[in-house]
Amino acid sequence: MSAVLDRPLDILPSRFAWLMGLYGENHRRLARMFAPQRLAIGRYRSSVGDGLDLRLDILERHRYTIDLHLSYAFVDESTGEPAPSAQLRMYDDARAAEVLACCADRRLVNAIGPLQPARDEFERRLQRSTFLSRWLEYLAEQGHSIGTLEAVREARVAVS
- Grouping H, G, I as helix, E, B as strand and the rest as coil, residue 130 is helix
Residues 6 or more apart whose CB falls under 8 angstroms from that of 79 comprise 103
Quick one: pLDDT band at residue 11, thresholds 50, 70, 90?
A: low
Residues 6 or more apart whose CB falls under 8 angstroms from that of 2 comprise none
116 versus 84: the higher-pLDDT residue is 84
- How far is it, in rounded angstroms, from Cα 148 to Cα 41? 17
- How far is it, in rounded angstroms, from Cα 148 to Cα 160? 37
Residues 36 and 30 sit within 8 Å (Cβ to Cβ): yes
Quick one: pLDDT band at residue 7, thresholds 50, 70, 90?
A: low
pLDDT tens digits, one per residue of 18-69: 999 999 999 999 999 999 999 999 999 999 988 889 999 999 999 999 999 9
The C-alpha angle 119, 120, 125, rounded to 5 degrees, equals: 110
Averaged pLDDT score across all residues of the chain: 84
Please tell me whether the peptide bond between 13 and the residue prior to it is cis, using omega within 30 degrees of 0.
Answer: no
Give the best-scoring range by mean pLDDT among 75-84, 86-95, 104-113, 121-130.
86-95
Residues 6 or more apart whose CB falls under 8 angstroms from that of 29 comprise 133, 136, 137, 140
Sign of torsion over alpha carbons 23, 26, 28, 34: negative
1 versus 106: the higher-pLDDT residue is 106
